[in-house]
Structure 1
Amino acid sequence: MIQKEMTIAHIVQNYPTTIPVFRSFGMHCLGCPSATGESLEQAAQVHGFDVDRLLSALNESLKN
């Protein structure tokens, strides 16, 4: 299960099925330096997304 405290890099490395979800939210730079240091919650704030909506979509992608 993905949690908002996890970094984007951790999520992408451990759950590669989430990559299309990140891209659908306009987050294309999954390998940038910020991805290794920012939590999902911080990244959502920076990009102007509702973290709960993003988190729900990411966790849903794990079911497929």
Structure 2
Amino acid sequence: MAQITKDTIIGDILDIAPETAPLFLSIGMHCLGCPSSRGETVEQACMVHGVDVNDLLAKLNASIGVAE
């Protein structure tokens, strides 16, 4: 998988790398199956949940084995 960026759609991430789900759950995204959450970008989800986008991106990319 290519590097995850702030513009990557969460549904796309979950489809390709379902092992990232716990990271989204850890920021309070408990409705990963909802169409609205799956259509959000990483940046949008971070804004809604008050999370630093760069911190989450680092964790997501590390979890899929991609260095930033």
Query: Which residue of structure 1 lines up, in the alignment, with residue 14 of structure 2?
Result: 12
* Alignment-mate amino acid for residue 34 of structure 1: S
The percentage of aligned residue pairs carrying the same residue is 52
Whole-Å Cα distance in 1 between the matches of residues 29 and 51 of structure 2? 10
Query: Which residue of structure 1 lines up, in the alignment, with residue 64 of structure 2?
Result: 62
1:24: Cα distance to partner?
Answer: 1.7
Superposed structure 1 runs of 4+ greater than 3 Å apart: none
SS in 2 for 1:3: coil
1:35: Cα distance to partner?
Answer: 2.1
5+ residue gaps in structure 1?
A: none
1:9: Cα distance to partner?
Answer: 0.6
Deviation by residue 1:28-64 (Cα, 9 ceiling, x = unmatched): 111112223221101110111111111111111112x
Count residues with an aligned counterpart: 63
- Aligned-residue CA RMSD (Å): 1.2
Q: Report the TM-score, using the length of structure 1 for normalisation.
A: 0.85
Higher helix proportion, which one?
Answer: 1
